[in-house]
Chains A and B, each alone.
Chain A
């Protein structure tokens, strides 16, 4: 069994980084990478930015050159998916019937677009999501110069898409159910800043606006809000967040806790199964609770970490989370997590579009959101790393 391959389920940035790290750390055994998309591992962040705008080719989305799998002797199974995991027998069953044994298994299954379960009109032509290359290609194909688009959800993805589509002068409406955009992640001042930014670029933002139905004869013609307001549109983008892909782990009997639960070394409740990236809910010493991060930083760092752990490292994974978002010419860089803050301090000048918001719980710094202030961002990452 020790000679069985390491299997990684999920060929995104995290799974890719794990394969690379295993080889760099001298692992020479079998290595199987299974991904349900037809593409080799690629970068997702440009999907809502440069790729959507047609400024970046499909080839440049790829994380590695075309000969990567051969060069590193990786058995890549693309367009394939796993039906089930048998943790006692240490095997995964692939769709189509093939069963493959593993020595260690890494779940890097990521997230999927959250779907509102009951919403009239969700199956109309013209309703889109933003998660995969195929999603974006479908949007790009459907977009005509005069296409009006309603984006459901004023989070990072929704606002990034609004920004990208405004550069082509599309008529863009953002529907946000809460009282302000980015409500779950930033303070009111920053929400206001981004709201004004988008309004000034011609985006119509509706807050406290709950989508009641998407309507049209066969294809999207309008959306209807709970307050009765109707907005004519040609396309609807559902950008109401993501949810971790946990079904395989759940069916295998692993502990689930807003994601596949792991300890601080990326190990799940089964000693031979690890989880990393967007799907994993790991115990963070820094925050003293399980956290699940949807970010490139976490996909890369935890992918590396899980690879080391599968080779026997007991090192603790406890990163300073960081994120970024590009909207128009504004670059927001975020260090830390702001949840639980009780006060903020601002440095710099908002009217100059260069400022940073520091979030505290008491005296303890939790997070820094830096707008066009790279220095403040990088300083914050150091500062947060040095807090005990």
Chain B
């Protein structure tokens, strides 16, 4: 199991134990973490699973495809250097202990 801590816009934190192989989006939904809509169910078609990943650990994440990069420019909240579509990031051991901050809006 891989521990990921989600931080809501109000600062509240919740740690979940995510299953390797799931996407971070799927892990969040499976634990009823609020703040991720994921309208297109992981198809990278909607940008409603936007999240800010811990900036000093981005290197351990799946590389970003051009499609995701384009979609991120249109997320409802500002894009920052840690911005990813959480449906495109697989849960791996490299994410253990990472924090993921959720935006105000999807």
Residues B41 and A68 in contact, CB atoms below 8 Å apart: no
Contact residue range for chain B? 20 to 34
Write the chain A residue with the least CB distance to B22: A60
Q: Which A246-296 residues have C-beta < 8 A from chain B?
A: 296
> Does residue B4 face the partner (Cβ distance < 8 Å to A)?
no
Contact residue range for chain A? 20 to 34
> Does residue B29 face the partner (Cβ distance < 8 Å to A)?
yes
Q: Smallest Cβ distance from B15 to chain A, in angstroms?
A: 15
State A331–B39 Cα separation when bound (angstroms).
15
State A281–B25 Cα separation when bound (angstroms).
32
> Does residue B37 face the partner (Cβ distance < 8 Å to A)?
yes
Q: Smallest Cβ distance from A33 to chain B, in angstroms?
A: 16
Q: Smallest Cβ distance from A325 to chain B, in angstroms?
A: 9
Chain B positions within 8 Å of A68 at CB level:
32
Chain A positions within 8 Å of B34 at CB level:
24
Q: Which B1-55 residues have C-beta < 8 A from chain A?
A: 22, 26, 29-32, 34, 37, 39-41, 43-47
> Does residue A204 face the partner (Cβ distance < 8 Å to B)?
no
A65 touching B29 in the complex, CB below 8 Å, given contacts A45-B40, A300-B37, A378-B74: yes
> Does residue A43 face the partner (Cβ distance < 8 Å to B)?
yes
Residues B70 and A331 in contact, CB atoms below 8 Å apart: no
Q: Which of A43, A60, A377 has the most CB of B within 10 A?
A: A60
Chain A positions within 8 Å of B70 at CB level:
374-375, 378
6 closest Cβ pairs, A-B complex: A378-B74, A324-B45, A374-B70, A43-B41, A375-B70, A65-B32
Q: Measuring CB to CB, which residues of chain A are less than 8 angstroms from any residue of chain B?
A: 24, 43, 45-46, 59-60, 62-65, 67-68, 71, 296-297, 300, 322, 324, 326, 331, 333, 372, 374-375, 377-379, 381-382
Q: Measuring CB to CB, which residues of chain B are less than 8 angstroms from any residue of chain A?
A: 22, 26, 29-32, 34, 37, 39-41, 43-47, 67, 70-71, 73-74
